Structure 1
Amino acid sequence: MMTQENPSQLTPALRLVQKLAAEGYRIFSTEDVRGMAPEVGLSAGYVVQALHHLVRTGWLVRLRKGLYTLSSAVPGISPAHEFEVAMALVSPAAISHFSAMHHYELTEQIPHHVFVTTTSDQSAPRGAGAGYRVGNTTYQFIRIRPERYFGTETVWLGEARVTFTDMARTLIDGLMMPQYCGGIAEVMHGFEVARDRLQLDQMIGYALRLDHATVKRLGWVLEQTGFERSALTVLQEVEVTGYTKLDASGSREGPYNRTWMIQENFSGKVRA
C-alpha cells in the first residue's frame, strides 16, 4: 500500500496523493494542486498531466473540469459522500425531490439518481440535462429561478455539510414535478407518512410564494390527507381561471373538483 512505502521512493504524483489525504482534501481543484506541487516535487507544467494520470490509474476521480476527489483506493480516507460531491458540482445546490424524500424517510424506494436543485445554468456540468455521471452515481440537476430557491436546511453528514430542501419544500416540489419524485402516487404517500410532522403554516406560505397551480394541488392533497378544510381557507380563496391537473406530469383526464379547481387525473389511492 502507498502508506507503507518510503515517501522518497514515491513518484511526485503519488506523493501528491499522499499529501492530499494527509491534509484532509476530500474534494479539490487543479488550483489547489498547483499550490502544493512544489512541496511534492511536481513541476508546475506537469500538474494537469499528473492529475490525468492519477485519474487513469484509479487514485483520483474527476468530478468535472478542474475538480477532483480522492478515490476509495487511497488508504486511510473515506470517499466523499455522493451528496458532498453534489455540493461541489454546482452552486447553489440543494439535495431535493426523490433524494430528499428518501432522506426524510417519506419513501421506501431508493432513488436511482441524486436529484439536485440549483439556480444556475452556467455552473452545471455538461450533460447535466440528461443526468451527469460521476463514477457509479448519476446526478440529475433541476434548474429553478433564483426567487424560487428557498426552503432549505444544511446538516452534517459525517464530515460533509450538505444542503437539503426541507421536508415541506420537498413535498411541494413533488406536487410541481412528480416525475422527479417517483410519481404522484409516491408524493401523495409522502404526505401521508409526514402527516404528523407537517407544519401547515410553513407549507401554505411556501405554496403562496410559488404559483396558483401549486396552491390548488396543495389544498387538495392536504384535505385528502386529513386536514380540515377550514384550516385551508387561504388556499381555497386563491382565484384561478381554470382547472389544474393534480398530476402535473399526467394527461388531461379524470373528474373535476370544483372546490379546489383540480382535475383529478389520478385514479389510485394514497397507500397507508
Structure 2
Amino acid sequence: MARLNKFQIMDLYVEEITSALKTKNKYSLKKSQIEEVLSENRFIWKLPNNTTRSEFINYLTSKKEILTSIQFGPMSRIETRYIFKKNNVETDVLAINLYSNSYLSHYSAVTFHDLTDEINKSIYVTHEQSPKKSNNLDKDIHQKDIFLAFSKPMRLTNNYLDYNSQRIYFLNGQYTNKLGVIHRQNLFVTDLERTLIDITVRPQYSGGVYEVLEIFKNARDQLSLNRLAAYLKKMNLKYPYHQSIGFFLERANYKEKSITSFKNKFPIKNDFYLTYDMTGSSYNENWKLHHPKNI
C-alpha cells in the first residue's frame, strides 16, 4: 500500500485540525497562530517534519477552503488574517476579533445604545495600545500648543477593512484597561458614559459635532454624570475635554445643578476648541471654548 502524502494525512485529521484552529480564535487567526496549531499537533497528526506553515495554510485555504484570507491596514504595514469561510459571523463580531483588546466604540457604540436615528454604514473599533509611562505627570499644557493642535484637520486613521459592504475602521486608543467597556450580545462595546467621552474627543468618528450634540440630547435621561466624570479623571486625557463635554451638556439642556456639579470637578485654565480646523467660530465664556457658530 502506497504511503500517504502529507495532504492525505491532513484529510484524515481535517475535523481535528478545524477544531484545533478554533481553540486559538473561532473568528480570525494570525499566521503565527496557525503555525502554533501545526507545531503543537504535528506529532499527534503524524505529519512529516518537513511539513511547512505555507503548505499547511495552502491546504486550509486552497485545497479544503476551510479558511480564507483578508488583508487590511495602511500600505506600509498591511496585516493578514484568516477567517473561517463557512462561519456566519456578524461583521461587528468579526471586527472586534481582528485585534486583541478591541471593542466597538464611537459611532458604532452610539448605534448600539440607540442614541441616533442616523444610519451608520461603518464600524468603528478601538484597539487599545500597551500601557505607557507618562512623561508629563503635571499635565501642564501651553495655550499655543492647544491652538496648534486644533488649528489643523483631525488626523484620520488609514487602517480600515472593507468587508461585507461595510468599512471597518481600526482606531488606536490609549491604554485604559478597557475602562467603561461592557460585554453585551456577544460584543465588547463602550458603555454610555465612555461612548460620550470618546465621541467628544473624536467627533469626526461619530458624525461631527452637530451630531454629537444630538447624541448628548438623546442620552439625557440615561447618563450618569458622576460616572462620566470618574472616567475622565481615570483617563487623564492630554487636553481639557471636560470643557467640551460641559458645553454639550449646557447646549443639550441638562439640569443646571448637574452641570454645575460636573464643572466643579475640573479646573478650567486654558481656552479650548470643540473640534478641529474651525473657521468663523464663536466663543463660550462659561467653558472658555471656541465652537462653530451655529451649534
TM-score by length of 2: 0.68
Percent of aligned positions with the same letter in both sequences?
A: 21
Paired residue for 2:127?
118
Asked whether the equivalents of residues 252 and 263 of structure 1 are also in contact (C-alpha less than 8 Å), the reply is no
Greater percentage in helix: 1
Paired residue for 2:158?
130
Paired residue for 1:79?
88
Paired residue for 1:75?
none
Number of equivalent positions: 244
Question: For residues 267 and 13 of structure 1, do their structure 2 counterparts lie closer, same or farther at Cα, with a shift above 3 Å needed?
Answer: farther
Paired residue for 1:3?
none
Query: In the alignment, residue 32 of structure 1 is paired with which amino acid?
Result: V
The answer to whether 1:100 aligns with 2:105 is no
Paired residue for 1:50?
56
Q: What is the distance in 1 between the residues matched to 2:11 and 2:288? A: 64
Q: What is the distance in 1 between the residues matched to 2:17 and 2:89? A: 13
Query: In the alignment, residue 207 of structure 1 is paired with which amino acid?
Result: L
Q: What is the distance in 1 between the residues matched to 2:47 and 2:118? A: 47
Q: What is the distance in 2 between the residues matched to 1:163 and 1:233? A: 32
Asked whether the equivalents of residues 243 and 256 of structure 1 are also in contact (C-alpha less than 8 Å), the reply is no
Asked whether the equivalents of residues 219 and 260 of structure 1 are also in contact (C-alpha less than 8 Å), the reply is yes
How many Å apart are 1:39 and its aligned residue?
Answer: 5.9
- 1:120-269 correspondence runs (5 A): 120=129, 129-133=157-161, 135-136=163-164, 137-147=166-176, 149-157=178-186, 162-209=187-234, 210-211=236-237, 213-237=240-264, 238-246=266-274, 248-265=275-292, 267-268=294-295
Query: In the alignment, residue 100 of structure 1 is paired with which amino acid?
Result: A
Aligned to 1:59, which of 63, 66, 70? Answer: 66
Moved more, 254-263 or 173-182: 254-263
Query: In the alignment, residue 169 of structure 2 is paired with which amino acid?
Result: Q
Moved over 6 A (4+): none
Query: In the alignment, residue 227 of structure 2 is paired with which amino acid?
Result: Q
Give SS of 1:195's match: coil
Q: What is the distance in 2 between the residues matched to 1:84 and 1:17? A: 26
1:213-240 Cα deviation digits (max 9, x unpaired): 3111111111222222222224434333
Asked whether the equivalents of residues 12 and 41 of structure 1 are also in contact (C-alpha less than 8 Å), the reply is yes
Structure 1 unaligned spans of 5+: 1-9, 73-77, 122-127
Structure 2 unaligned spans of 5+: 1-6, 72-78, 131-155
Structure 1 vs Structure 2 CA RMSD: 3.3
1:38-60 Cα deviation digits (max 9, x unpaired): 66665451442232354357531
Q: Which has the higher contact order (CA 8 A, sep 6+)?
A: 2
Give SS of 1:174's match: helix
